[in-house]
Amino acid sequence: MAKKVVVEATINGEQTEFLCEPRQSLLEALRDILELTGSKEGCLTGDCGACTVIVDGRPLCSCLMLGVEAQGKTIETVEGLAQPDSLHVLQQKFLEHASLQCGICTPGFLMSAKALLDHNPKPTEGEIRYALAGNLCRCTGYDKIVRAVADAAQTRASGTGRGGRLGSGPSASEQTERFLQGQEVK
């Protein structure tokens, strides 16, 4: 068996060192080694998004990244979202809008939504749906999730009324065109 490797990474703001086998995914490293079980395993093929974490500012599926690849990276997981005395606005809005039923997909959605709002504080409904399309939810039909993210953006945009417009913006199929026209806030 291949020998284990020491990996150093910044996880939720903490300098972290862990020992893992090269064949272990980042998801396994987080869940089985670091006991951060908030990131969930849904498919191991990058199709459900339940294991979504943010690495160096980008959302990705931790099941499709090796733990050893995390060397020197900055990683955010759902466990790092809340402050000791307060929830992240996205967490708060997911609760207020009843956006979770079983809750297994919620950590992944929260991380994808955070990555979106970090890059684009005032997304349209179309932009929200595009950003969340890599996360599957089987309980909600997405309605209340989209509403929560829009509301979170609006709350953050402190009532400018600009953020999180429902029923506004391009349809799903127009997203790519928008990128080319450079309209997408990145």
Partner 1 sequence: MAASAKAQGYRVIGTRPVRHDGVDKVTGRAKYGADYSFPGLLYGKVLRSPYAHANIKSIKVDKAAALPGVKAVITADDLPALADKMEQAGEQALNLAQLSANILARGKVLYDGHAVAALAATSPHIAEEALRLIEVDYEVLPPVMSVEVAMKPGAPILLPGLRNKDEGPDKQTNVATHLQFKRGDLNEGFKSADYVVEREFKTAMVHQGYIEPHNAVGIYNPDGHATIYCSTQGSFVVRSLSAAVLGMPEGNIKVVPAEIGGGFGGKTTIYLEPLSVMLSKKTGHPVKMTMTRAEVLRATGPTSGSTIRCKMGCTKDGRLVAAQIWMAYEAGAFPGSPVGAGAMTIVAPYNIPHLLVDAYDVVVNRPKTAAYRAPGASNAAMASETVIDELADRCGLDPCDFRIMNGAKEGTPQTAGPPYRRIGFIETLEAIKSSPHYKSKLEGRNRGRGVASGFWFNVGLQSSAIVNIHTDGTASLVIGSVDIGGTRAAQAMIAAEVLGLDVNNVRPLVTDTDSIGHTDVTGGSRTAFATGWAVYEAAQDAVRQLKERAARLWEKKPEEVGFDNGQFVVQGDGVKPMTVKELAGRLARTGGPISGRATVNARGVGPAFATTVVDVEVDPDTCKVEILRATVAQDVGKAIHPGYVEGQMQGGTAQGIGWALNEEYFYDDKGILRNSGLLDYRMPTCLDLPLIETCIVEVPTPGHPLGIRGVGEVSIVPPPAAVANAIAHAVGVRMTELPMSPPRLLKALLGKRGSAETQAAAAGR
Partner 2 sequence: MHAINYESPKSVDEAVKLLAAHGEQARPLCGGTDLIIQLRAGVRRPEYVVDVKNIREMRRIEFSMQHGLQLGAAVPCIEVYENGDMHKYYPGLTEAAHLIGSLQIQSRASVGGNLCNGSPAADTTPALIALGAKCRVVGPGGERIVPVEDFCIAPGRTVLQPGELLVEFQIPSPARNSSDAYLRFIPRNEMDIAVVGVGASVTLDLNDDRISEARVALAAVGPTPIFAREASQALAGKRINDEAIERAAQLAIAATSPIDDMRGTAEFRRHVTGVLTRRTLAKAIERARSAQTTR
* Complex with partner 1: residue 43 or 185, whichever CB lies closer: 43
Q: Whole-angstrom Cα distance, residue 89 to residue 170?
A: 25
The one among 52, 77, 91, 106 contacting partner 2 by CB under 8 A: 52
118: contact with partner 1 by CB under 8 A: no
Mask: binding to partner 2, 118-157, rule CB under 8 A, as x and -?
Answer: ------------xx-xxx----------------------
Q: Whole-angstrom Cα distance, residue 93 to residue 60?
A: 23
* Complex with partner 1: residue 72 or 150, whichever CB lies closer: 150
Stretch that binds partner 1, among 3-11, 67-75, 88-96, 114-122 (CB under 8 A): 88-96
The one among 6, 8, 14, 22 contacting partner 2 by CB under 8 A: 22
Using CB under 8 A, list all residues that contact partner 2: 1-2, 5, 21-23, 25, 44-47, 49, 52, 55, 58-61, 63-66, 68-69, 71, 112, 115, 130-131, 133-135, 172-173, 176, 179-180, 182, 186
